[in-house]
Amino acid sequence: MNSTHLWYKNAVFYQVYVRAFYDRNGDGHGDLIGLTQKLGYLKDLGIDCLWLMPIYPSPLLDDGYDIADFYNIHPDYGTLQDFKQLISSAHERGIRIITDLVLNHTSDQHNWFLEARKGKDNPYHDYYVWRDDDQDYSEARIIFLDIEESNWAWDDNAHQYYWHRFYASQPDLNYDNSSVRQEMLKVAKFWLDLGVDGFRADAVPYLFERDGTNCENLPETHAYLKELRQFIDRNYPGRILLCEANQWPEEVREYFGEGDEFHMGFHFPLMPRIFMALCKEEISPIVWVLEKTPPIPENTQWTTFLRNHDELTLEMVTEEERQWMWQHYAPLPRMRLNLGIRRRLAPLLDNHRGKIELAFSLLFSLPGSPIIYYGDEIGMGDDIWLEDRNGVRTPMQWDNSPAAGFSPADPERLYAPIISNSEFNPQKVNVTNQTNDPGSLLSSIKKMITLRKSFQSFGWGEFEWAFDTKQTQSKPIAAFYRSYLDEKLLIIQNLSSQALTAEIPLSSSSISLNEILGKSSNALINNHTLSIDLQPFDYHWFQVKSF
Ligand code: NOJ
């Protein structure tokens, strides 16, 4: 395999909600031309690849994940021409772009569904999953628990029920129909021909349904995804598929196949355990989940993240852990949504600078390629009083003006209010101030990204805890090695709010430690042990050299 095709192994990703990023034409909605203008900011931050959330025509009942036309751009965002311009400007700067590929469902306003509803004789009827009653597939869970009571919805026109895993306005496509399978390959081809570097494939576990199963991760689903992969490898080598499967690691492992299905997969179970570890001030949740994480083929990579556009999902934790997370991170009922928490990173971590940086240090140093959710790099806040997940999708705060530099429009005209609370309003949190301040969160994140990218070990290397993780003294210290070929890094992080001294056993005393990141430390090597004083929430990255 061509190694440049493996660019995603050590790339830093950034998730963009286009509506929220930058409104160039002043209609109150972010747009593609606006995003194009901000590529310089993203390049400067060190971003290698953007993931754009859905930008297609849609009635927006699930913020664009309900697609009404797979072959166009939502007028709020611009035109196909604007999209081409975005791709070429990004590529000129060495930034790749992946887009959302929503395979599982369409909007009920999609022409296929409008036709399908006309009845059994319509050629599009069989593009969706219909039944005369609502009894089949009763073992499939309901995902949008707070809104939906069933995965079946009655359609008055067709006089039948149709199947949907998300909102009722998002009917599931029928993958048993070969025309559907072909249509969706055509959709992928269209965007690949426009130059996208791949897809974040939405909700892939649910493509097929089979009675007597929970209708997730079925062999038929994997077979189709492998077909999609082959199509990409054959015609568009170097483009990638990123898997959104909110599943346990052993199930996500299946989506990597033998290196012939997805290139990347989100590590959903790791994410909440980073938050557990930070709050409990101990590494055990991370130790546990990494033990449960099987090895993956060399040409594949985990995608790690702290937050995204959805609620912080608590599907991949036990009931007891979920209650614990809600109690600690979502004390107000309004902060909870479905099986998760609708808050952003900075408010979740009490807007505590040390904890936020520590969370990023973990994100950038644990195995996988990291993805940053827009705005988290400046510590943006949220608005839990907005409906659904909109509170974590508010306008990007570029400067301290009333519309936060997001739009020339009056603030009243924006698609969503700018965060206005006393801690996170644009006077307190904005890109311009932080860009000019070497001590800002943004500057720290930028530094971490630069360092991460100058060492191969992060993307390619082995991971090994630096000491016996069962020892009690190791509890609050996340210390591990990352190593690749003759490069070796030692990462030491103090999850505790207390200053402490860590004693880390070394395999040899004939080594030197070169601190590559962190406030200069008091580290002493003596008798096969490294002794290091750690401040609360401290993190240090060292390069290890033998002599
Ligand atoms: C997962 C997406 O992340 C979420 O935002 C969306 O609502 C569902 N898939 C349905 O497409």
Q: How confident is the model at residue 1 (pLDDT cuts 50, 70, 90)?
A: low
Q: How confident is the model at residue 166 (pLDDT cuts 50, 70, 90)?
A: very high
User: Per this entry, what is the length of the chain?
Assistant: 547
Q: Say yes or no: CB of residue 203 within 6 Å of ligand 1.
A: yes
The reported pLDDT for the residue numbered 24 is 98
Give the C-alpha distances (Å, rounded to integers) separating 143 from 154, 206, 315, 435. Answer: 18, 11, 10, 40
- Coil, strand or helix: which one is 276? helix
Torsion angles phi and psi, residue 246, rounded to 5: -80, 80
Average pLDDT over residues 73-86: 98
| CA 461 / ligand 1 centre spacing (Å) | 32
The alpha carbon of 12 is separated from its chain's Cα centroid by a whole number of angstroms, namely 11
The reported pLDDT for the residue numbered 42 is 98
The reported pLDDT for the residue numbered 332 is 97
CA dist 209 and 189 (Å) reads 25
Q: Say yes or no: CB of residue 204 within 6 Å of ligand 1.
A: no
Q: Say yes or no: CB of residue 254 within 6 Å of ligand 1.
A: no
Exposed e or buried b per residue across 204-230, where buried means at least 16 C-beta atoms within 10 angstroms of its C-beta: bbbbbbbeeeebbbbeebbebbbebbe
Sign of CA dihedral 167, 314, 248, 54: positive
Q: How confident is the model at residue 294 (pLDDT cuts 50, 70, 90)?
A: very high
Candidate from 15, 19, 63, 65 with most ligand 1 atoms within 8 A of CB, to mutate: 65
The ligand 1 atom nearest the CA atom of 144: 7
Write the burial class of residue 517 (CB in 10 Å: 0-12 exposed, 13-18 middle, 19+ buried).
buried
- Both tokens of residue 343? 């808050």
To which residue do tokens 């937050």 refer? 307
Residue 258 has pLDDT above 70, yes or no: yes
Spatial CA neighbour of 67 closest among 104, 98, 31, 97: 104
Spatial CA neighbour of 268 closest among 315, 311, 301: 315
Torsion angles phi and psi, residue 341, rounded to 5: -135, 120
Closest-CA residue, ligand 1 atom 11, reads 65
Can you give the C-alpha Rg of the chain in angstroms?
24
Exposed e or buried b per residue across 297-327, where buried means at least 16 C-beta atoms within 10 angstroms of its C-beta: eebbbbbbbbbbbbbbbbbbbeeeebebbbe
Mean pLDDT, rounded, of the chain:
96
The reported pLDDT for the residue numbered 523 is 86
| CA 349 / ligand 1 centre spacing (Å) | 25
Average pLDDT over residues 328-341: 97
Torsion angles phi and psi, residue 35, rounded to 5: -60, -40
Which residue in the list 100, 108, 155, 202 is annotated as catalytic?
Answer: 202
| CA 244 / ligand 1 centre spacing (Å) | 9
User: Can you say whether residue 263 is alpha, beta or left, with left for phi > 0 and alpha for psi between -120 and 50 degrees?
Assistant: alpha
| CA 246 / ligand 1 centre spacing (Å) | 11
CA dist 318 and 249 (Å) reads 14
The reported pLDDT for the residue numbered 159 is 97
Concatenating the DSSP letter of every residue in 61-113 gives TTTTSS-S-TTS--TTT--HHHHHHHHHHHHHTT-EEEEEEE-SB--TTSHHH
Closest-CA residue, ligand 1 atom 4, reads 310
Residue 372 has pLDDT above 60, yes or no: yes
For the chain, what percent of residues have pLDDT higher than 70?
99
The reported pLDDT for the residue numbered 59 is 98
CA dist 513 and 530 (Å) reads 10
Kindly report the pTM of this predicted structure. 0.98
Average pLDDT over residues 464-480: 88
Residue 2 has pLDDT above 80, yes or no: no
> What's at 389, amino acid-wise?
R
pLDDT digits (tens, 9 = 90+) for 171-190: 999 999 999 999 999 999 99
Give the C-alpha distances (Å, rounded to integers) separating 433 from 358, 383, 400, 407, 473. Answer: 22, 22, 8, 18, 40
Q: Are 397 and 429 in contact (CB under 8 A)?
A: yes
| Residue bearing the bigger pLDDT, 250 or 469 | 250
pLDDT digits (tens, 9 = 90+) for 218-244: 999 999 999 999 999 999 999 999 999
Q: Say yes or no: CB of residue 206 within 6 Å of ligand 1.
A: no
Residue 74 has pLDDT above 80, yes or no: yes
To which residue do tokens 């003596």 refer? 526
pLDDT digits (tens, 9 = 90+) for 376-403: 999 999 999 999 999 999 999 999 999 9
Which residue in the list 48, 155, 172, 244 is annotated as catalytic?
Answer: 244
The reported pLDDT for the residue numbered 519 is 77
Closest-CA residue, ligand 1 atom 2, reads 202
Active site residue 350: no
Closest-CA residue, ligand 1 atom 5, reads 310
pLDDT digits (tens, 9 = 90+) for 508-526: 778 899 999 987 778 888 8
Sheet holding 152-155, edge to edge: 130-131, 160-163, 152-155
Average pLDDT over residues 268-291: 97
Spatial CA neighbour of 53 closest among 63, 43, 61: 63
The ligand 1 atom nearest the CA atom of 203: 9
CA dist 303 and 230 (Å) reads 21
pLDDT digits (tens, 9 = 90+) for 12-71: 999 999 999 999 999 999 999 999 999 999 999 999 999 999 999 999 999 999 999 999
Average pLDDT over residues 78-100: 98
For the chain, what percent of residues have pLDDT higher than 90?
94
pLDDT digits (tens, 9 = 90+) for 204-217: 999 999 999 999 99
> What's at 393, amino acid-wise?
R
Torsion angles phi and psi, residue 155, rounded to 5: -115, 120
pLDDT digits (tens, 9 = 90+) for 113-146: 999 999 999 999 999 999 999 999 999 999 999 9
pLDDT digits (tens, 9 = 90+) for 90-101: 999 999 999 999
Q: Say yes or no: CB of residue 311 within 6 Å of ligand 1.
A: no
Residue 436 has pLDDT above 70, yes or no: yes
Comparing 44-48, 156-160, 400-404, 501-505, which segment has the lowest mean pLDDT? Answer: 501-505
Spatial CA neighbour of 244 closest among 307, 302, 201: 201
Active site residue 319: no
Torsion angles phi and psi, residue 218, rounded to 5: -75, 155
* β-pair partners for 500: 534
Q: Say yes or no: CB of residue 102 within 6 Å of ligand 1.
A: yes
